[in-house]
Structure 1
Amino acid sequence: MDGRQWLDGYQHRLADLTSRADRARAAIAGVEGTAASADGAVTVTVVPGGALRRLVLAERSEGLSRVQLAALVVETAARARAEADRLVAEAVAPLLEA
């Protein structure tokens, strides 16, 4: 293989990698994870990485103490983040193969 062939192959691999990265970014752009507490008092939506997008406190949350409510929000947010992480992995898995 001469230098020109090597360079052509390298440029082809680089273009493929760039294309895969662009598709991966597009695949995860709208991903959110949502989870609700078992009692329905709290619903949390996060983006990948865990940043809070939406927090909904149902009427039944009013019967909880502040400590209970805070713990429920943290627990539910962790489950929402796990869901977001799962969706990201699912979205990019086909792009990481080969």
Structure 2
Amino acid sequence: MENQVVNLHDKVQKLIEQYSQDKKKLEKLTEQYQELKNENTQLMQQIETITSQNISSVDTVKELEDKIIVLENKCQTLQATVKEFEELATVAITKIDDLIPTVLET
């Protein structure tokens, strides 16, 4: 009988030790879980920030591309206007040159 009590006591002691070990493991795992959860939250916030910045960058690039198109069109218009002025100036210079010999002759 005493032997059974000792065996039972040993088994209970082992169970208590196992429970203590498991409880410590659970605490460590709970702590790791909390750390990973916090890390995951930070990563999700970073992803949201980067995504927001990316969307903003895409919008900015689109706006700049649109402005480039507008400026290219203005440049073409100005070049055409300058060409017209050059042609007009050439015609005016030719007419003035034609008039000068006439004025000098009289």
User: For this structure pair, what is the TM-score category when the shorter chain's length is used for normalisation?
Assistant: 0.3 to 0.5
Q: Which TM-score applies when normalising by structure 1?
A: 0.39
TM-score, scaled relative to structure 2: 0.36
RCO (CA 8 Å, sep 6+): is it higher in 1 or 2? Answer: 1
* Structure exhibiting the larger radius of gyration computed from Cα positions: 2
More helix by share: 2
